[in-house]
Amino acid sequence: KQEVTQIPAALSVPEGENLVLNCSFTDSAIYNLQWFRQDPGKGLTSLLLIQSSQREQTSGRLNASLDKSSGRSTLYIAASQPGDSATYLCAVTLIGGSNYKLTFGKGTLLTVNP
Partner 1 sequence: DTGVSQDPRHKITKRGQNVTFRCDPISEHNRLYWYRQTLGQGPEFLTYFQNEAQLEKSRLLSDRFSAERPKGSFSTLEIQRTEQGDSAMYLCASSQDRGRADIQYFGAGTRLSVL
Distance, in Å, from the CA atom of 91 to the CA atom of 103, rounded to the nearest integer, reads: 5
Q: Name the one range near partner 1 by CB under 8 A: 12-20, 62-70, 76-84, 92-100.
A: 92-100
The CB-of-38 to partner 1 minimum distance in angstroms stands at: 9
First to last CA, the chain: 41
Which of 14-22, 67-75, 78-86, 88-96 is the region at the interface with partner 1 (rule: CB under 8 A)?
Answer: 88-96
- The β-bridge partners of 88 are 37, 108
Query: What are phi and psi for residue 82, nearest 5 degrees?
Result: -55, -30
Give the count of beta carbons closer than 10 Å to the beta carbon of residue 61.
13
Total residues contacting partner 1 (rule CB under 8 A)? Answer: 29
CB closer to partner 1, 80 vs 107:
107
Interface of this chain with partner 1, residues 38 to 77, rule: CB under 8 A? 41-46, 49, 51-53
Contact status, residue 22 vs residue 88, Cβ threshold 8 Å:
no
- Which residues would be at the binding site for partner 1 (CB under 8 A)? 4, 31-32, 34, 36, 41-46, 49, 51-53, 89, 91, 93, 97-107
